[in-house]
Structure 1
Amino acid sequence: MYKDEMIQLHQFLVYVLKYLAEDDQITNDCSEYISLKISPHHIHKTKAEHKHAIFVLCKIIAQVVADKENNSIPDNVRNSLGDLVTRSQVELSAK
């Protein structure tokens, strides 16, 4: 995937998260994403940084949906997303 496509996906996931956020609870869930200090508007950030942010957003969205829909997302899917976040963080640290 090209960097501009990653940025578009990043922006889409931010919109999805905002759509799901109906209260201040989402701020607590997003602390990991907020601590990255990267948004889709930061086009100077690397492709790997946007990729990591995408994985973090996916993990948060899965958790929010699972909480709202009474665990409609299987645990193994949420765990796999957590593993992707960890692996992408390791990749960023190695660079």
Structure 2
Amino acid sequence: MKKQELIHLHGLLAQVQNHYEQDTGSTVEHDEYAELGVKPTSIHKSKTDHKAAVFAIADGITSEMTAEEKEPVSAAAD
């Protein structure tokens, strides 16, 4: 995958995260992503940096969704 494609994917995942957070009212916690310091707008960062960020943000989103699925139905309704 080219760097430009990774940056685009990174931006799309950031939008998915924002939409998910607005839809559920929760915050996606991903310390690994925050520690990387790579945002979709960080076009000066390397391809490797963006690849790591894509994996970190995707992991954070999926972990949050998995945790939400495992919550009891009554807790999710609150």
TM-score relative to the length of structure 1:
0.65
Question: Which of these two proteins has the greater Rg computed from alpha carbons?
Answer: 2
Q: Distance in 1 between matches of 2:50 and 2:70?
A: 30
Match of 1:68 in 2: 68
Pick 1 or 2: higher relative contact order, CA cutoff 8 A, min separation 6.
Answer: 2
2:43 maps to a residue whose letter is I
Match of 1:42 in 2: 42
Q: Is this contact kept in 2: 1:20–1:64, CA < 8 A?
A: no
Match of 1:59 in 2: 59
Q: Distance in 2 between matches of 1:51 and 1:16?
A: 17
1:35 maps to a residue whose letter is E
TM-score relative to the length of structure 2:
0.78
Q: Is this contact kept in 2: 1:33–1:56, CA < 8 A?
A: yes
Match of 1:18 in 2: 18
The root-mean-square deviation of aligned C-alpha atoms, in Å, is: 1.5
Q: Which runs of 5+ in 2 are unaligned?
A: 72-78
Q: Which runs of 5+ in 1 are unaligned?
A: 72-95
Deviation at 1:58, TM superposition (A): 1.2
CA offsets, 1:9-60, max 9 Å, x none? 000011111111123x42xx12221111110101010000000000101111
